[in-house]
Structure formats: C-alpha cells, structure tokens
C-alpha cells in the first residue's frame, strides 16, 4: 500500500529495485531475527559491518577507487528505508555511522589518508564515527570548545565530545576542534585514530537505540599528526555544514520508513486482535487511526522524494531539507504513538517493533539538529 517501487513511482528504476531486493534479503536474514536480542545486549556483532560491505551497503556514494559504490539520492533512500524494516534504529545508526564520519575524509583528507582509511572503513574492517557534540552544546557548532593547539608536526587535542554514535568502537574519529579564534572561522576537523594515547571513552545508557554504542570521548593532550587535518585550518565548519544536509536527508528517509513500519505492524495486529466479537480493524476508531497514519507517511514520502529529485538536479534546498527532517520525525512520532495505542498492552511489552520504535522517536527529533534548530535555520533561509 505504502511501498515505493518502479511500478508506482517515476523516481525508481531497475537498479533501485534490484538493490531493494538485495537489501530486503539482507535485513530479513542478518538483522531482523536478532534485533531484540541485540537491543537487550546493548550491542551487535562487529561482523555485521563486513556482511553489510559485501552487499555494497557501506560503500554507497563513496568514490569507487576506495571501494565505494556509485549511488544517487534514491539508492540511498532505498538503503535507509530497507534497513528501517527491522525496526532497530540502534543497529542502523551504528552500522551506518561512517555515513557521517567518513564523508569529510573522502572530501578533504590528504590523498595518502584517503587511500589508507577509506578502504578499511568501506570494507567493514574498521569503524568510522563523527564527533562534534560537546557537553556544553550540540547544534551550536560555531562555539565548540575542544581545542587543538599546534606543536611542531602535531596538534595537541584537549576537550570532550558526547552522545557520539559508535563512540566506543570507532577506529577512526572525525573530530571538530578549535584551532583558531572564536566563532565558525576557528573550527577545523581532525581525523583522530581510536588508539591515540590520551583518548578515553565512557559508555552512555539511553532511552532508545540500545544496540548502538554511544559514548562520551575524553581527549587529554592527544597528539595528532598534522597530516590528519581534513582540509585547511578554519574549514571545519563548512565541511560540517555540508555533511548536515546528507545526514538530515538520511534521517528523514529512515524516520518515514519507521513510521511506515508502525502502520504495517498496526494493520496486521488490528486484523488479528479481536474485541467485542470482531477484529479491532472493524472498529471505526481504529480504521481512522490507521488512515491518519498512512496519510502522514504518504505525504512525508512524497516530500522526501521531491527533495531527492531536486538534489539530483544540483539544487541545495536547505530550508526544505530542514522542514523535511521535521516532517519525518513528527510523522514517526505520531505513527509510533498510534501504533502502540492500537496494540494496547501488547504495545507496552519489550520485544516488538512498535515498542522499540516508540522509544527511538526522541533521538531522531534531537539528533542531526533539533526540531527547534531546524525551524530557525529554515526561517533564516527563507529570509525571515
């Protein structure tokens, strides 16, 4: 009903559909049967990265010379939305943390760094993470405090980062630091290796995304080679902002798909659950809830695909991407809440998709830029 395929959308072709089939088999075989177990354990096997690399998932959109796979916006949507079918945001977020950690490396690192690091990440042998958020602030990137002072052929890094996805296991950390004065112009990006002396990590416990390791990182006079600077000093803010558009589109695609999972799960449950002598799907109030959910998912998917097409035409619709991120997270929140309500007591029990997705609503509304920040940025882009 809510599926997007070549048959009912002009945006998808045979290549998209073929990859969708590959992704669906992968998720059905390698993730879905273990999602609850991994969530309860608070982690998933590291071997999953290599399995994801084998089907080309980790390489999507990265340069082919380093093991990447050519991918347009719609192939990325397919990947995000098929991963979401497992209803396991913790797995998806950590498995794909390189999609925010590695692009600055591909875009701005020295040639020798790219040649060494990217093949390891895209093959699933090493894990990449992005470290921007600090205890003193998240979205206020221009005022971050972690410092990197130049000392000969090294930078000496001191400070903290927090809420870092894949923070405990990452082998490569793309870290925002202050190399200059105040404001955005003083921000740079450094690639810091996970075994750097002076780096320590503290695991964090969360409301949702249990299977994703999330950490606070402590940098205590960490010496980082100057050649690990990504781009030039003072270019970090620009690289980070460029990264945000891609991250927000990916989150919007996932959130819309999680909402769709809630609709599908609620429909299936409403057909089999009986009250007062008939399936609850035959009660008008339940049918109307399901229609409202499906309507919001269809609207969000349409907006997502329109923006993906515009990006493919070379546009940079920043305001609309911000609104899209909010549209998707609000749709997810609505559908997750209604799905749990339809499930009733069963929806409050751990081990089912809608309960897990319900716990993961807020991290999506906060991560990648809060709903409030998205509105403010969109309004500025609109000249308000």
Q: Annotated catalytic sites, by residue? A: 247
Q: Is residue 220 within a helix (H) or strand (E), and if so which, with residue range?
A: strand 214-225
Q: Say which residue the tokens 């052929």 belong to.
A: 153
Distance CA 176, CA 236 (A): 7
Distance CA 356, CA 352 (A): 6
**297, 306 in Cβ contact below 8 A?**
no
Burial class (CB in 10 A: 0-12, 13-18, 19+), 350: exposed
Closest CA to 194 of 104, 112, 127, 102: 127
Closest CA to 335 of 270, 260, 281: 260
Helix (H), strand (E) counts: the chain: 14, 10
Q: Compute CA distances 351 → 16, 259, 271, 355, 372, whole Å.
A: 31, 18, 20, 7, 32
Distance CA 23, CA 257 (A): 14
Cα angle 75, 99, 352; round to 5: 80
Q: Residue 291, Cβ neighbours under 10 Å: how many?
A: 11
Distance CA 354, CA 285 (A): 19
Closest CA to 243 of 97, 67, 83: 97
Distance CA 179, CA 157 (A): 9
């Amino acid at each position: 009903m809510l599926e997007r395929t070549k048959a009912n959308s002009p945006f998808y072709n045979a290549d998209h559909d073929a990859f969708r089939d590959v992704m669906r088999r992968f998720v059905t075989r390698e993730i879905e049967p273990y999602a609850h177990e991994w969530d309860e354990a608070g982690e998933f096997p590291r071997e999953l990265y290599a399995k994801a690399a084998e089907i080309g998932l980790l390489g999507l959109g990265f340069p082919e010379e380093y093991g990447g796979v050519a991918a347009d916006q719609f192939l990325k949507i397919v990947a995000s939305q098929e991963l979401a079918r497992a209803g396991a945001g913790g797995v998806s977020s950590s498995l794909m943390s390189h999609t925010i950690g590695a692009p600055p490396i591909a875009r701005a690192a020295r040639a020798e760094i790219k040649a060494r690091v990217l093949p390891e990440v895209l093959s699933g042998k090493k894990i990449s993470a992005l470290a921007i958020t600090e205890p003193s602030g998240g979205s206020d990137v221009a005022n971050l405090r972690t410092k990197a002072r130049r000392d000969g052929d090294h930078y000496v890094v001191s400070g903290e980062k927090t809420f870092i996805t894949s923070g405990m296991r990452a082998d490569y950390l793309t870290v925002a630091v202050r190399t200059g004065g105040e404001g955005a112009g003083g921000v740079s990006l450094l690639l810091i290796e996970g075994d750097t002396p002076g780096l320590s990590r503290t695991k964090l416990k969360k409301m949702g995304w249990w299977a994703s390791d999330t950490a606070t990182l402590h940098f205590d006079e960490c010496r980082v080679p100057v050649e690990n600077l990504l781009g030039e000093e003072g270019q970090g803010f620009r690289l980070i902002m460029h990264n945000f558009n891609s991250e927000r589109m990916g989150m919007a695609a996932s959130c819309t798909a999680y909402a769709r999972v809630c609709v599908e799960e609620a429909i299936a449950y409403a057909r089999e659950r009986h009250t007062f002598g008939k399936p609850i799907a035959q009660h008008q109030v339940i049918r109307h809830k399901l229609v409202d959910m499906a309507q919001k998912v269809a609207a969000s998917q349409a907006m997502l695909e329109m923006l993906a097409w515009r990006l493919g035409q070379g546009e940079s619709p920043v305001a609309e991407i911000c609104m899209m991120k909010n549209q998707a997270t609000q749709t997810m929140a609505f559908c997750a809440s209604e799905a749990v309500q339809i499930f009733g007591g069963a929806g409050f029990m751990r081990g089912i998709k809608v309960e897990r997705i319900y716990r993961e609503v807020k991290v999506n509304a906060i991560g990648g830029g809060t709903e409030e920040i998205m509105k403010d940025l969109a309004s500025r882009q609109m000249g308000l």
